[in-house]
Chains A and B, each alone.
Chain A
Amino acid sequence: MRFVLRRLVFYAVAIWAAVTLNFLIPRVMPGNAVDAILGKFQNLTPAVVKSLEVQFGIGHKGTIISQYFQYWNNVLHFNLGISTSEYPTHVSTIIGQTLPWTLALVGVATVLSFTIGTLLGVFAAWRRGGSLDRALPALTLLQATPYFFLALLAVYLFAIKLNWLPYGQGYSIGLSPGFNWAFIHSAVEHSILPALTIIAVSTGGWMLQMRNVMLTTISEDYILVAQAKGLSTRRVMFTYGARNAILPNIAGFALSLGFVVAGALVMEYVFSYPGIGLTLYNAVTSNDYPLTQGIFLVISLAVLTASLLADIVYVFADPRARSRSAF
Chain B
Amino acid sequence: MAVVSFLHKAGTGFNRLSLKAKIGIVILSIYILIAIIGPWIAPYSPFATTTQSSAMAPNVHHLLGTSATGGDILSQMLVGTRSTVVLGLITGVIATILSVVVGTAAGYMGGYVDEFLSLFSNVFLVLPALPLLIVILGYLPHTGEVATAIVLSVVGWPWGARVIRAQTLSLRNRDFVLAAREVGERPWRIILFELLPNQSGLIAASFVSTVLYAIATSVALAFLGVTDLSNWSYGVILYWAESGSAVNLGAWWWYLFPGLAVAVLGMSLVLINFGLDELSNPRLRSSRSLRRLGRRLWRPADPTPVVRDYVETTA
Contacts and interface: CB of A to CB of B under 8 A. Distances in A.
A188 interface: no
A3 interface: no
A266 B263 contact: no
Contacts of A304: 126
Nearest to B287: A129
Contacts of A143: 266, 270
For the residues of A in contact with B, the DSSP-based class is helix
Contact residues on A (Cβ < 8 Å of other chain), bracket:
35 or more
B240 interface: no
Interface stretch (B2-10, B57-65, B223-231): B223-231
Nearest to B309: A227
Contacts of B281: 212, 216
Given A146-B219, A149-B238, A224-B303, A261 B123 contact: no
Interface in B197-238: 212, 216, 219-220, 223-226, 238
B296 interface: yes
Interface string B111-135: 0000000010011011111111011
A299 B128 contact: yes
B127 A266 contact: no
Interface in A114-164: 127-130, 137, 140-141, 143-149, 152-153, 155-156, 160
Interface string A280-292: 1100110000001
A147 to B, nearest CB: 7
Nearest to A133: B287
Given A30-B139, A129-B290, A284-B134, A261 B295 contact: no
A262 B247 CA distance: 22
Given A128-B297, A281-B134, A26 B122 contact: no
Kindly name the residue among B139, B216, B295 whose own CB sees the greatest number of chain A CB atoms within 10 A.
Answer: B139
B219 A258 contact: no
Contacts of B256: 153
B140 interface: yes
A155 B225 CA distance: 20
Interface in A165-212: 212
Given A160-B247, A284-B226, A261 B127 contact: no
Contacts of B262: 145-146, 149
Contacts of A5: none
B146 interface: no
A266 B135 contact: no
A125 B138 CA distance: 44
B266 A144 contact: yes
A17 interface: yes
A21 B127 contact: yes
B57 to A, nearest CB: 15
Kindly name the residue among B126, B127, B130 whose own CB sees the greatest number of chain A CB atoms within 10 A.
Answer: B126
Interface stretch (A7-15, A68-76, A88-96): A7-15
Contact of B308 (A227, A257, A258): A227
Nearest to B301: A219
Contacts of A10: 119, 122-123
A262 B129 CA distance: 7
A25 B135 contact: yes
Given A30-B141, A160-B250, A265-B134, A13 B127 contact: no
Given A285-B225, A292-B135, A296-B135, A230 B308 contact: yes
A259 B263 contact: no
A228 B305 CA distance: 10
Nearest to B133: A262
B263 A258 contact: no
Contacts of B123: 10, 13-14, 17
A224 B119 contact: no
Contacts of A17: 123, 127
A149 B241 CA distance: 11
Contact of B255 (A149, A219, A284): A149
Nearest to A16: B123
A215 interface: yes
A118 B128 CA distance: 23
A21 B132 CA distance: 10
B283 A140 contact: no
A258 B125 CA distance: 8
Q: Which 7 A-B pairs have the closest CB atoms?
A: A144-B266, A262-B130, A149-B259, A29-B139, A284-B138, A145-B263, A258-B128
5 contacts: A9-B119, A137-B20, A144-B266, A156-B250, A269-B224
Interface of B: 20, 119, 122-123, 125-132, 134-136, 138-141, 212, 216, 219-220, 223-226, 238, 242, 247-248, 250, 252, 255-256, 259, 262-263, 265-267, 269-271, 274, 277, 281, 283-284, 287, 290, 292, 295-297, 302-303, 306, 308-309, 312
Given A148-B223, A149-B262, 8 more contacts: A29-B136, A30-B141, A143-B266, A144-B269, A146-B262, A227-B306, A254-B126, A277-B131
